[in-house]
Structure 1
Amino acid sequence: MLATRSRPETSGPEADTVSHMLFGRTQETAHIERLLDEARQGRSQALIVRGEAGIGKSALLGHALTAADDFRQLRAIGIEAESELPYAHLHMLLHPVLHRIDALPKRQASALRGSLGLSDETSGDRFMIGLAVLTLLAEIADEGPVLCVVDDAHWIDRESADALLFAARRLEAEGVVVLFGARDQHAPAFPSHGIAELDLSNLDDEAAAQLLAEYASDLSEPARRQVIAEAVGNPLALRELPVAQREGQLTLDPYRVSALPTHSRIQRTFADRIATLPDSTRTLLLVAAAHGSCDAPPILAAATKLGSTMEDLELAERKQLLSMVDGHLCFRHPLVRSATYQEASTAERITVHTALAEAITSPAHAERRAWHLAAAATGPDEKIAAALEEVACAGQARGGRNAVASAYERSAQLSPDPDEKARRFQAAAAAALAAGQLDRADALAAEAASNTTDPKLLGRLAHINAHVAYGHGNTMASYHGWVSAAREVAPHANLQASYMLFHAVEAAWMAGNFAAVDEVAELATSMKLRNAPRVLAMARVAHGLGDRHGDVADGVAALRELIATTGRSHEPTLQDRATIAWWHLLLGDHTTALDLTASLVADCRATGAMGVLPRALALQAKAQLYSGHHRDAAASATEALRTAEESGNQPIMIGVPLSTLAYLAAIGGDEKRCLELLSKLPGADDGRGILLLDGALGVLDLTLGRNESTVDRLAELANRRNRMDMLPTVTDLVEAASRSGQPERAREPFGWFTAFAEHIDQPWAMALVERGRALLGPDAEAEQHFIRAVEFHNQPGDRPFERARTELLYGEWLRRSRRRSDARGHLRSALDTFERLGVTPWAERARTELRAAGDSQGPAALRPEALSQLTPQELQVVRLAATGMTNRDIGAQLFLSPRTVGYHLYKAYPKLNIASRGELATLDLQAA
């Protein structure tokens, strides 16, 4: 009977690997040591070490562990067989500190316990789990620096990866270093957005020769040269090729170098070595490879049942293929595992997986048992399919959406009944959609559709397809999906059909296809849907605000009806509240939208609703921008962009925050930054990417005085089918057209803007109408329109940037009319606002006009207020700190660790010319 043994971790091939594979890595080890030194000073870093198999990633991570002997160390290694077990690798990493979870904030502790299977609690949003990991690492770091090492990160389960990357991106001032080792090819991609990378290249010939001289000094000179040529600077190959030659498994030919990639050559040498072993030893290796985990008892139990003995384990160790350390049975290198499993026959694999399933009897490992049964299946099997469906249901409670999709998918593949197969494929598609995996969701939905004719199920699949299309920005495809879904589900799900058609109207409107809007309205009526009035109201909105021939007054009235009735029959969801805020922005009511989004963002943070938070932040950024809180808008848009990208990088989610940031860069005259942001805009079948691009570039051209270019860009937007597309840029077009002597090119779009402004009942909009009339009308009537514009600006709900532009234009007109004294007051007011908002080109323009008007008191140079010196993150932190919130509470709000909050306050105090937290209450922190 095979039994577990222990031996010191410093012996065996693993220790040799570390000592030999660091030749030629002076710069890389120095880089790692710098990160550790910074952590000792309280700064945090995260790094992904990338490279091909055998290049020395594990050795470099081992060097970090050795150099960080004064750190608290947490370690995990990615195991391919556990890549479908949600949070398996997070549990492995945090195992030594699980007892610290109870000290976390209640919601975070509950989410983390649920995800790790430590309780029956529902795990909640995956980002709440990431926040819990961040807080836990920060709490541990209070006692000294922390080093987290995750090797073979390309094999860790998606849920663990999401949580660890979420935390790693937000580390800043805790004293934590997180190191990942991941292959750059021949393995699943490991995401890296927002994390620094270190690419390990092949050793040069000098370093390769040094390594070879120490490890294989007995080679002849021709053989040595051939090994160096074959290994191509790969340290593992430099060690393994001489072994293969000594054992007669490799003939070195100085006139031929293998055309195989280094990765394949090394795996081939391991496969050849394994092929020479007795059958019982190869069986032991195959059981270990198939099990995936290093947990020795089930491996040894299954191997014993299949005839392996202690002698086989000892032989595998002598051949440097396996090692036993403290009850863990580990392969010398992942390529040994790959070579073992790939060289086995199908029959051998089935036998081994069956034995492993029989050896796993604990209910706690039911997931692993189900996957082994699935791997051993030779055809459809309802019993195994049902077991995998149970795995999926358990994973759903733990928040493991990627693993849930995989379990449902394999369950569907093994389902003998077509209806069950289709149902399970649909469940897999829904889980993939929830995980942000749009393409996978689409493919799984197609599999489901090919196995069913059930209208109800087909309706759900069409709904998934519509969401996928919408997520990709393909609005007309999403329109057709929702219409198709509504037709299928209407007979048995009346309210759901109404919901789908409502979205179909929105999609058609976004695409500017108003004939499609009419088709949906007719369909909702003919179906006699209970919520048909809401669908018809949205169709009226689309026509009134978008269609060139629509009734603006009716569209505005319909939108107000929707705002008043949404949530009347039920408590509004977070998504409902986001939609209402967006509708208020459409009606120009940024003041109400600002209040709504503030409470919405707070509730999203409090409940961990990261699926809604990106949209809420994007809407808040728009409201802040219009309200004159430009720095707040930049902070909100930046966070919206980051959380949207972490939610799956769906194009529809990142366009709005990108456009806000690009607009801020444009009015600030930062052309490089503006273009950089716009280059990230996703394309879309309805051209909205082009719309956002040209809109921002038009504003940039206006800011930089390129008026003719502004007119060319923005006049083209005015020709689009959807009038709402041109609305944000009409007044920019009017100003540029007036300045370039082309007023006729702005008259038609200005006419529509005027009609819109007259019906939304917002003073700021009427101010822009009067300003436009002053610019496009007879010069003799200009002043009366400017005066009316200023009067409208003086009413509540104004837009400060637009008011400053009006006063600048009025001041310029007065100066040209030789009324310099009258001009100076308006120009000073414009200058003050532009300076406060930090829009340098506009401030310079106002300052130039002020000098021309004879004002010698104007400042010689722009001197930003103290708040303008704060970063967006610092501004968020000091405002929350001023309310009396603790660092821990602020961290929970902003998804930061308490120590990072303290670090931001430490940097902010000198900029604000204060020395303590108590002084924050004396400052006007809303001025920006």
Structure 2
Amino acid sequence: MAALMNRETERESLDRLLDTVRSARSQALIVRGDPGVGKTALLDYLTGRASEFRVLPVSGVQSQMELAYAALHLLVEPILHRLDEMPAPQRTALRTALGLSPGPAPDRFLVGLALLTLLSDAAGDRPLICVVDDEQWLDQASAQALGFVARRLAADPVGLVFGAREPSAHLTGLPVLDLGGLDPSHARELLDANLSGPLDDQVRDRIVTEAQGNPLALLELPRSMTTADFAGGFGLPAVPSISLRLEEGFLRRMEALPAPSRRLLQLAAADPSGDPVLVHRAARRLGIPPQAAMPAAEAHLLEFTERVHFRHPLVRSVAYRSASEPARREMHAALAEVTDPASDPDRRAWHRAQSVSGTDEQVAAELERSAERAQSRGGLAAAAAFREQLVRLTPDPARHAERALAAAGITMASGAFGRALELLDAAAAGPLPPFAAAQADQLRARITFVAGVGEDALAVLIRSAERLTPLDPGLARVSYLEAIRAASFAGRMTGPGSMTEIAYAARALPAPADPGPTDRLLDALATIFIDGPAAAAPALRRVAREFAGSGLTREDGLAFGWLATAVIWDDDAAYEINARQVAASRATGALDQLPLDLVALALSEAWRGDFASAEAHMAETAAICEITGSQMPPSTTAFLAALRGDPVRLAPHVEALHAVAGFGQQSQATYAHWVSAVLASGHGRHADAYAEARLAVDDNHVFVSLWALPQLIEAAVKVGAHDEAARALDQLTATTHDGTDFGRGQEALGRALLAGDFSLYVEAIELFGRAGIRTEQARARLLLGEWLRAEGRLDEARASLREAREMFEDMGMAAYADRARRELMATGERAVRRRKTVAPAALTDRESLIAWLAADGLSNPEIGAQLFLSARTVEWHLGKVFGKLGATSRTELAALLGDQRT
């Protein structure tokens, strides 16, 4: 094969991939190169070498990029009979995404997990290779799902090989095999092998130079040359790129065809389905005879077999662009007429849209239905594309503006923020009624906030609220809530654009006639900054319980509920709100919001000592960010590392938090000081804990500085700074008095430390226990034991310290457990040994997490579903865990881990 000349290294890479998959290990690879360089030929080589494999091929088609999961459907069609063997939630999600069953929009990660399970199960019979050509032209939903799977297959005999000019962002981080041109000697050899007669050396050298080693160019350039070119060597003007040179050559060959053959080429290029029956039916409507296919085949441009096959993707694009606008509209109209409206309504609607030159309300309405179907399948990018087209087709100016606004909203949700802003500009240019105009302003502010949290986003949100005030005070109140949320990230407590300025502006708004939960929340938050936390605490407690206990949805403002809980130590409400937020974000596929929700939920789980769930949610967050390219500060991950007492894991997270703070999120620096204080306290380095906690509290952040007060009180007492501890306690009690068990426990413990009061220590332990905050309950037991030892009450001290040590070891808080062990030894207790646990370096992070989940009783499929891994990959990781720890069963593994939930 011409394109495989001088490709020994590349073929060896593909052979190694096949060997890896044969050995029951997965591998992904991107074959990247310019058009015509030989990517498809190498993929064909791979397929030819995979005779004992099940091969699933698919190619991206540029005109099909708007149809959600179109490529994925073609890829997995041969194994869809295995759907019945999959877990019901995964089966339902995949069937809905592929349009096989009706239902609400599936969670995109559940679709990815379903694809992972389907490929893993199919590979159980024999090794499996997915070959994806022209990946850059896949629809976004399919590309995202395949990128997700490529990163999560490990111990499965599955290979994923992508051919791409420039791979999409969904494949970022996967191994790449770059395909360059042939060296000059092989280029001349290939050129000579495909010439029908002798060629002047000067012309040969010019062709080789022009082709730059591109095999397709070496084959095609001579075909586009005239007799004069061959004779003199002066007919090859320089061109900007090989692609352009190839396109010019293909265009010349098309122009040499009879008119019906050219028309058939253009028609086939307009149809993304590749269905020859469909193309021939449309051709008959256009008066193109069946024999028109023969000249195109003889010119090696187009073949009709079981599928429509172009010589090269460039032929398709050149053919389509060569048609005039009227001709394109006529072709799309014919294709729409022969496309079944029952079985393929969306493709029919798309063809109808391309057939219209001006506006057409009937076609726009059809596109609107297609957009709704695409959105119900989780295809946000497809829904956005349909809505953008229907905006173009809408004749009525008012409806045009209204539809542009709706398109902007769904386009934002799909992640195309720039295009969403353009659609907002189009909406603003139309006759929007006041309420819709207010919505447009608010959406613009939201896009600015989501696109980049910082002072610019905050300023836009404040300006948006000010503009909304005379138009719709209710929407203005929501905008001020969003501004407070943005200010909390920016760490702006005072000055222009600060929480205080926002609070005064919000309080100046007219009182709503029928206030709802978000109205009461805004009023309570404004009170914090105007009248102080103590004045706001009662209202915040009421609204926190309202958010936690009601049936509020995302549309009702559920996402703002955590703002009430963060100040008043109401973790019960925070946990309930965040769990519902996670469920809502998953259900709607809101990938911009889901990482924030998961991080907040994991923070609650960390406080409660449920490190396994917290780490699983952080792993899910990392998976989402890996796929979407989003970036989340490692705040909760840092808190977990601090609670574990692991300085090696914490150090890079603290560095990252300080780096993020330099880009407008000052709150992350406060967070870094707080978690550093937690770490130092666990190791008993009280002076370091005091210094870091003071920095966190002095930052005066409305949330994080409050959370650092317990560390400051403890450390200040330990280093003898009792006045500092008393001031910190006064700050703490402003939000804990008469509050939740969690907050009252913190207050009781602070008073116990300052007063040395046994009953207050006991009260704190009981309150933390009722609140379910195991980390703080164990800390209170430790501090009680330390105080009892100092008082000489050694028997009581031993009892409290033993309980503290057991709790710390159960949760995996190694540094705190060692601190308790040292205190026990100081009481005179002998043989105080560390519980046998896994050394931090013995297992990787993923192995450790899987080990804890397995010890907790989860099955391999359950672990895989939680961590987005195949069950076979979980089994492979567990095999490595068993080997490293010397365990032979899950029961023994649980014993070795000390029945911990880390």
Contact 1:824-1:853 within 8 A present in 2 as well: yes
Q: Which amino acid aligns with 2:156?
A: E
Q: How does 1:353-752 map to 2 (within 5 A)?
A: 353-360=332-339, 362-472=341-451, 473=453, 474-481=457-464, 484=467, 488-489=471-472, 502-503=481-482, 506-507=485-486, 511-512=492-493, 513-525=499-511, 528-531=512-515, 534-544=518-528, 547=529, 550-566=531-547, 570=551, 583-584=564-565, 586-590=567-571, 614-630=595-611, 632-644=613-625, 646=627, 648-649=628-629, 656-657=635-636, 660=639, 667-670=646-649, 673-674=652-653, 677-678=656-657, 681=660, 687-688=666-667, 691-692=670-671, 718=697, 720=699, 722-730=701-709, 752=731
Residue 411 of structure 1: CA displacement?
A: 0.8
Q: How does 1:762-801 map to 2 (within 5 A)?
A: 762=743, 765-766=746-747, 769=750, 784=756, 792=764, 796-797=768-769
For 1:737 and 1:29, how far apart are their aligned partners in 2? 66
**Are residues 1:198 and 2:177 paired?**
yes
Residue 769 of structure 1: CA displacement?
A: 3.6
Change (3 A) 1:716 1:596: closer
Q: Which range is displaced more, 46-55 or 61-70? A: 46-55
Residue 155 of structure 1: CA displacement?
A: 1.0
Say which SS state the counterpart of residue 147 (structure 1) adopts: strand
Say which SS state the counterpart of residue 531 (structure 1) adopts: coil
Change (3 A) 1:757 1:257: farther
Say which SS state the counterpart of residue 21 (structure 1) adopts: helix
Q: Which range is displaced more, 277-286 or 597-606? A: 597-606
Contact 1:645-1:654 within 8 A present in 2 as well: no
Say which SS state the counterpart of residue 233 (structure 1) adopts: coil
**Are residues 1:330 and 2:313 paired?**
no
C-alpha deviations, 1:175-229, integer Å up to 9, x for none?
22122222228xxx44224544333344444554554455459555444433332
**Are residues 1:133 and 2:115 paired?**
yes
Change (3 A) 1:531 1:570: same
Change (3 A) 1:855 1:195: farther
For 1:251 and 1:338, how far apart are their aligned partners in 2? 31
**Are residues 1:272 and 2:245 paired?**
no
For 1:262 and 1:88, how far apart are their aligned partners in 2? 30
Say which SS state the counterpart of residue 170 (structure 1) adopts: coil
C-alpha deviations, 1:859-900, integer Å up to 9, x for none?
7x9974479855555565556656766544544444333323
Residue 30 of structure 1: CA displacement?
A: 2.8
C-alpha deviations, 1:876-927, integer Å up to 9, x for none?
5556656766544544444333323333443344456543346667675334
Say which SS state the counterpart of residue 308 (structure 2) adopts: strand
C-alpha deviations, 1:571-602, integer Å up to 9, x for none?
77799887667755543355775688679868
Match of 1:342 in 2: 321
Residue 137 of structure 1: CA displacement?
A: 1.5
Q: Which amino acid aligns with 1:478?
A: L
For 2:678 and 2:80, how far apart are their aligned partners in 1? 53
Residue 402 of structure 1: CA displacement?
A: 1.2
For 1:533 and 1:390, how far apart are their aligned partners in 2? 34
Contact 2:612-2:849 within 8 A present in 1 as well: no
Q: Which range is displaced more, 75-84 or 671-680? A: 671-680
Contact 1:669-1:704 within 8 A present in 2 as well: no
Contact 1:81-1:293 within 8 A present in 2 as well: no
Contact 2:398-2:431 within 8 A present in 1 as well: yes
Contact 1:49-1:182 within 8 A present in 2 as well: yes
C-alpha deviations, 1:399-431, integer Å up to 9, x for none?
322111111111111212111111211221222
**Are residues 1:232 and 2:218 paired?**
no
Structure 1: runs of 5 or more not aligned: 1-18, 774-780
Matching residue within 50, 53, 65 for 1:68? 50
Q: Which amino acid aligns with 1:365?
A: D
Contact 1:302-1:356 within 8 A present in 2 as well: yes
Matching residue within 881, 885, 888 for 1:915? 888
Change (3 A) 1:223 1:287: same
For 1:695 and 1:582, how far apart are their aligned partners in 2? 19
Cα RMSD of the aligned pairs, angstroms, is 4.9
Q: Which range is displaced more, 889-898 or 670-679? A: 670-679
For 1:565 and 1:36, how far apart are their aligned partners in 2? 58
Say which SS state the counterpart of residue 37 (structure 2) adopts: coil
Q: Which amino acid aligns with 2:129?
A: L
**Are residues 1:906 and 2:879 paired?**
yes
Residue 543 of structure 1: CA displacement?
A: 3.7
Change (3 A) 1:260 1:746: farther
Say which SS state the counterpart of residue 119 (structure 1) adopts: coil
Contact 2:64-2:272 within 8 A present in 1 as well: yes
C-alpha deviations, 1:71-106, integer Å up to 9, x for none?
111111111111112221122112222333333333
Match of 2:900 in 1: 926
Change (3 A) 1:345 1:384: same
Q: Percent of aligned positions with the same letter in both sequences? A: 34
Say which SS state the counterpart of residue 143 (structure 2) adopts: helix
For 1:389 and 1:595, how far apart are their aligned partners in 2? 36
For 1:680 and 1:153, how far apart are their aligned partners in 2? 35
Say which SS state the counterpart of residue 51 (structure 2) adopts: coil
Matching residue within 145, 169, 177 for 2:151? 169
Matching residue within 313, 321, 324 for 2:301? 321
Matching residue within 123, 127, 137 for 1:145? 127
Change (3 A) 1:832 1:249: farther
Structure 2: runs of 5 or more not aligned: 494-498
Contact 1:644-1:654 within 8 A present in 2 as well: no
Match of 2:278 in 1: 298
Change (3 A) 1:128 1:68: same
Say which SS state the counterpart of residue 178 (structure 1) adopts: strand
Say which SS state the counterpart of residue 648 (structure 2) adopts: coil
Contact 1:298-1:360 within 8 A present in 2 as well: yes
Say which SS state the counterpart of residue 46 (structure 1) adopts: strand
Say which SS state the counterpart of residue 156 (structure 2) adopts: coil
Residue 621 of structure 1: CA displacement?
A: 2.0
For 1:660 and 1:35, how far apart are their aligned partners in 2? 40
Q: Which amino acid aligns with 1:517?
A: A
For 1:183 and 1:296, how far apart are their aligned partners in 2? 27
Residue 824 of structure 1: CA displacement?
A: 11
Q: Which amino acid aligns with 2:880?
A: K
C-alpha deviations, 1:338-383, integer Å up to 9, x for none?
2223344334433433443344455433333332333233222323
Say which SS state the counterpart of residue 179 (structure 1) adopts: strand
For 1:661 and 1:570, how far apart are their aligned partners in 2? 31
Match of 2:73 in 1: 91
For 1:258 and 1:743, how far apart are their aligned partners in 2? 82
Contact 1:790-1:803 within 8 A present in 2 as well: no
Residue 325 of structure 1: CA displacement?
A: 2.5
Aligned residues between the structures: 885
Q: Which range is displaced more, 166-175 or 693-702? A: 693-702
For 1:250 and 1:95, how far apart are their aligned partners in 2? 49
Q: Which range is displaced more, 91-100 or 784-793? A: 784-793
Match of 2:496 in 1: none
For 2:180 and 2:776, how far apart are their aligned partners in 1? 54
For 1:771 and 1:33, how far apart are their aligned partners in 2? 69
For 2:232 and 2:211, how far apart are their aligned partners in 1? 12
Contact 2:533-2:735 within 8 A present in 1 as well: yes
C-alpha deviations, 1:718-741, integer Å up to 9, x for none?
555643242344566678899999
For 1:607 and 1:305, how far apart are their aligned partners in 2? 42
Residue 796 of structure 1: CA displacement?
A: 3.3
Q: Which amino acid aligns with 1:158?
A: Q
Q: How does 1:812-851 map to 2 (within 5 A)?
A: none
Q: Which range is displaced more, 629-638 or 281-290? A: 629-638
Residue 561 of structure 1: CA displacement?
A: 0.2
